Amino acid sequence: MLDALFNPRGVAVVGASSRELHIGNRVIKNLIDFGYKGKIYPINPKADEIRGLKAYKSILDVEGPVDVAHMVIPAKFTPMAFEDCGKKGVKHIIINSGGFSEVGPEGAAIEDAFMEVARKYNMRVLGPNCQGIINSDPELRAYCNFTFTFPEPGNISIVALSGGVAEVIHQGFSAMGVGTRIYASNGNACDITIPEIIRYLGDDEGTRVIVTYVEGLRDPATFMEVAAEVAAKKPILAMKAGRTAEGAKAAASHTGGLAKEDMATDLIFKKAGIVDFRDEGELINAAAAFASQPIPTGNRVGIITNTGGPAVIGTDILVDAGLEIPPLSEKTEKILKEKLYPEAAVHNPIDVLATGTAEHYRACLDAMMDDDHFDCVLVNFVTPFFVDNEKIATEIVAVSKQQRKPIVCNLMTDRKQWKETVRILQDGGVPCFALPGEAARALTALVRYHRIRTRDAGRIKNISDVDKSRAEKIISVAENAGRHMLLADEVYQILDAYRIPVADWRMAGSVDEAAAMAEEIGFPVVVKADAASVIHKSDMGGVAVNLKDAGAVKAAAKKMADELAADDLRFFVQKFMPGGMEIILGAKAEEGLGHMIMFGLGGIFVEVLKDVVFNLTPVTDSDAKEMLAGIKGAPLLAGTRGQKGVDQAAIEALLCRLSQLVGDLPIITEMDLNPVMAFEDGLFAVDARIAIS
C-alpha cells in the first residue's frame, strides 16, 4: 500500500524554489546529493530550471510517472494543487509545509479540504508539517526530506512523529557508524498513520529492527493490534515522551495536540511486545545492537575485559537489570588458563590484562561461544599502545560475524588516534559504545526482547459463573436515575453477580435497624455511613470498626447521624474482618482500549509509596501473576520473616474476575476495591466503589 511512497519512481516538488534556503530547493538538493535513482521534477510556474534540472510550469506537464509529490506551498493553495496531482496520477503527497491543524481550526479545515481531493483521486498523504521519508536502499536512494543527515544504508528503520527526534536518532546512528534503512516522519498525521508505516516496515525485508518515537497515540487500539503483529516478527523499539504533565503539555503544542499525560501507552507497549525506552540515548544504542547482533537465548553474560574498573561498572548494571554473570565452565577455565597470561583473571569477568593479545581475545570469545553457561558477551576493550589493537578488533569482528551469540563492545579509545581500530569494528558490525554502562544497557535491551519473545502471554480466563445481565440491570437503574456513582448496595450486588467475595453485609435505614442487622450478621461488625455526600467515609467519621454488641452499633450509628447530618444517610453494616492484609484493586476506562487494571498493597503502600502496578484488560492469568510479582511489596504477599503470606492464587483470580467484570460492563468508568482483606486462605472485599459514565 505504501510501496510507492517508500520506493518512488519519480518525485515532483510542488513549490520548487530557486532560493538556496527554501525547503522547495533543499528537497531537490537532497535528492540529488543522496544520489536518487529516480526522476526529479521541480514544479514552478516561473522558473525554467532549478539546480540544473528542468522545471515544469505544472505537474500536468511532467511526462513520466510521479509517485511522490512534495508540497512546499502555502497551506491555502494545497487543495488546488491536490487537484492537479490527482489528475496527474500522483500516488502520495508529502506536505512539508505547516499552517494546518497544528495552528488551529482554520488550518484543520484546509486539511479536510485537501483530504477530500485526495480521497477522490485515491492519493495518500504524509504530513502535513512533516519531514518526509528517506529510503537508503542503494538501488533507490530516495531522500524525500529537507533535513541534513545522510544515513548510510542499514537495516534499522525509523518512524517518528517528531522530525526533530528522528534527527537526533539519525545523528546518533551516524555517530556510531550505524546505517538506517527507511525513515518516515508523519507530523500532523492527517492521513497516513504510524501503525500503517509500522505495518509496512514489518513487511519490508530490508528492515531488521523498527525504532519508533511517539508522544501519544491517536488510535491506541489500532496501534496495539498492528504493533503486536509486527513485534512478533521483528523487534520494535519505542519511546514515548510527554510522561509528565509538563511534558505532555509541551507535546500537545507541537504536533496538532494529540498527546495527553498517560500511562496507557506504556501498557500498550508492554502488551504489544515492544521494547520500550525512557532514554533516547539508550534507545539509539540498543537499536545499534539489534541491527547487527542475534537475539540471545537467555540472560547469562560473559564479560571479557583488558581493564578492571569498567567491567565492574558493566557488571553492576547488568545485574541490576536482572541479567546473570555466571562462572566459567570448568572446560572454559581450563582452556583459558593454558592460553592466557598466567596473571590473567580466569573467571567471569575474564581479565586478559592490558597486555592481552588478539590471540587471547580470540581464545576468550571462542570459549564463550562454546560455553553453554553464556548467552551473550560483553567485551570491554581499551586500546593500549603496546598491543596490536587492529588485530584484536579483527578477531572480535570475526567472532561477531559468526552470529552465534550477541556481542557488544565498550570501546575505550581515542577515536582520532585509533581510527583504523574503530573502523574495523564499525564496518564489521560490532556495536561499539563509549561507556561501559551504555554497552551493558544495549545488551540488556537484547535480553529484554528475548524475554518478551519467550514470555507466556497466558490465557484469558473465561469466567462463566457470573451473572452479567443482573449486573447490567442494576447499572441501568442508576443510569436511569442519572446517578454516576452507584449506591453501596448496588455495588455489592454487582460484586455478588460476579462472585467477588465480600464480607457479609446488610443495608439499614435506621439506627435500630442497624443493630438488628448486626445481630443477623454476627458480631463483631463494622458500621459505615452511606450517603451521596460521604465519599471518603473514614475521613469523615463514617467508619466504626470492631463493634462487639448491639449497644456499640447503636452508639456508632447515632454518632454518625448526628455528625454527618445527611438526609439520605443509611447505615452499611458489615462483618468485621480483622487480621488480613489490605490490598487494593482498581479499574479505569481508557478510551479505545478497555480498562486499565491496578493492583497494589493498601494503606501507606499506596498512599506514600505508590507501590502499584497496572495492566490493560483483558488481564490473563500470566498478567495477573506478573502484577503480583511486580510490586515492591511482593515479598509481603509471599510471606517473610515469620509473617504468613496471603492467598496469592485468590488475588490472581480476583484480578481476572475484575478484568472480566469491567470488560462485560464497559459503562463502568472507574471501579475500586479498596481495601480487599487478603488472608492466608481466601479474601474479602470490604469497600468498593463503582462510577459509570
Residues that bind Mg ion (CB under 5 A): 674, 687
Nearer to ligand ADP, 177 or 633 (CB): 633
Report which residue's Cβ sits closest to Mg ion. Answer: 687
Task: Write out the E strands in 63-208.
Answer: 68-71, 92-95, 124-126, 132-135, 142-145, 156-160, 182-185
Nearer to ligand ADP, 536 or 641 (CB): 536
**Interface with ligand ADP, residue 577, by CB under 6 A:** yes
The item of Mg ion, ligand ADP, none sharing an interface with residue 574, based on CB under 5 to 8 Å by kind, is ligand ADP
In the three-class reduction of DSSP (H, G, I as helix; E, B as strand; rest coil), residue 692 is classed as strand
Cis peptide before 524 (omega within 30 of 0): yes
The item of ligand ADP, Mg ion, none sharing an interface with residue 538, based on CB under 5 to 8 Å by kind, is ligand ADP
Q: Looking only at residues 657 through 686 of this chain, which bind ligand ADP when binding is defined by CB under 6 A?
A: 674-675, 686
Least separation, in Å, of the C-beta of 599 and ligand ADP? 16
Give the x/- contact pattern for ligand ADP in 223-242, rule: CB under 6 A.
--------------------
What percent helix, strand, coil does the chain show, rounded to 5?
40, 20, 40
- Asked whether 436 and 465 are in contact (CB, 8 A), the reply is no
**Interface region with ligand ADP, contact rule CB under 6 A, candidates 7-15, 171-179, 338-346, 573-581:** 573-581
Phi-psi region of 26 (alpha: psi -120 to 50; beta: other; left: phi over 0): alpha
Residues in the chain: 693
Q: Say how many CA atoms lie within 13 Å of 477 toward its Cβ.
A: 12
Among 85, 328, 503, 556, binds ligand ADP (CB under 6 A): 503
Give the x/- contact pattern for ligand ADP in 511-540, rule: CB under 6 A.
---------------x-x-------xxx--
- Asked whether 369 and 362 are in contact (CB, 8 A), the reply is no
- Measured at the alpha carbon of residue 265, what is the angle toward residues 262 and 266, in degrees to the nearest 5? 100
The H or E element spanning position 448 is: helix 436-454
Distance CA 119, CA 203 (A): 25
Q: Say how many CA atoms lie within 13 Å of 349 toward its Cβ.
A: 24
Least separation, in Å, of the C-beta of 487 and Mg ion? 16
**Interface with ligand ADP, residue 574, by CB under 6 A:** yes
Q: Please, what is the angle between helix 468-480 and helix 648-664, to 10°?
A: 60
Binding-site size for ligand ADP (CB under 6 A) equals 18
**Interface region with ligand ADP, contact rule CB under 6 A, candidates 61-69, 484-492, 570-578, 663-671:** 570-578
Nearer to Mg ion, 449 or 605 (CB): 605
Nearer to ligand ADP, 418 or 572 (CB): 572
Nearer to ligand ADP, 46 or 536 (CB): 536
- Asked whether 273 and 452 are in contact (CB, 8 A), the reply is yes
Nearer to ligand ADP, 377 or 686 (CB): 686
Give the x/- contact pattern for ligand ADP in 580-619, rule: CB under 6 A.
--x-------------------------------------
Least separation, in Å, of the C-beta of 489 and ligand ADP? 14
The item of ligand ADP, Mg ion, none sharing an interface with residue 686, based on CB under 5 to 8 Å by kind, is ligand ADP
Among 108, 113, 221, 545, binds ligand ADP (CB under 6 A): 545
Q: Distance of alpha carbon 208 from its chain centroid, rounded? A: 19
Least separation, in Å, of the C-beta of 674 and Mg ion? 4
How far is CA 21 from each of CA 16, 24, 28, 486, 504, rounded to the nearest angstrom?
12, 9, 12, 63, 76
Least separation, in Å, of the C-beta of 669 and ligand ADP? 19
Q: Which of 405, 440, 442 is nearest to 298 (CA)?
A: 405
Least separation, in Å, of the C-beta of 525 and ligand ADP? 8
Q: To which residue does cell 572454559 refer?
A: 332
Residues that bind ligand ADP (CB under 6 A): 503, 526, 528, 536-538, 543, 545, 574-578, 582, 674-675, 686-687
